[in-house]
Amino acid sequence: MKELKKNTSLSFEEFSKLVNSIILTENGNCPVTPVISMLQGKWKMQIIYELCIKSPMRFGELKKMLGNVTNTALTNALRELEENELIHREQFNEIPPHVEYSLTDKGKDLLPVFHAIANWGLKYIS
């Protein structure tokens, strides 16, 4: 059993060797579980993807890009992503007031994950 300290990263080769054994964080859980929990929900991955394409974006732009998302669902997803420090919310107190959302450095670190998911999808999903 290998215990991982916070801010530890593994190469893919190291991960591959350890994946068949038990990989635990210092909190005693699998390091994948909190990530999945952080990104779960119908809109979060799509929001991050849209912010990868264009950042910053206003609320209305995101809503338009996502299609049939409700204001409440989008607001909740954005709040949770902000709480997890994956996106940054900047409020402009101008006339008219507006808010812009962008990826944080932590959010940008998910880009290789999206790249891997995209490659997997291109390979296996027609």
Q: Return the SS3 of 57.
A: strand
Convert the pLDDT of each residue in 88-104 to its tens digit.
Answer: 999 998 888 889 999 99
State how far the Cα of 89 lies from the Cα of 114, in Å rounded to an integer: 22
Whole-number pLDDT of residue 97: 86
pLDDT score, position 1 = 43
Q: What is the mean pLDDT of the chain?
A: 85
pLDDT at 29: 62
What domains can you pick out in the chain, each with its CATH number?
1-30 (no CATH), 43-124 (1.10.10.10)
Q: What is the pTM of this model?
A: 0.75
Query: What are the pLDDT digits (tens) for 50-97?
Result: 998 888 999 999 999 999 999 999 999 999 999 999 999 999 988 888
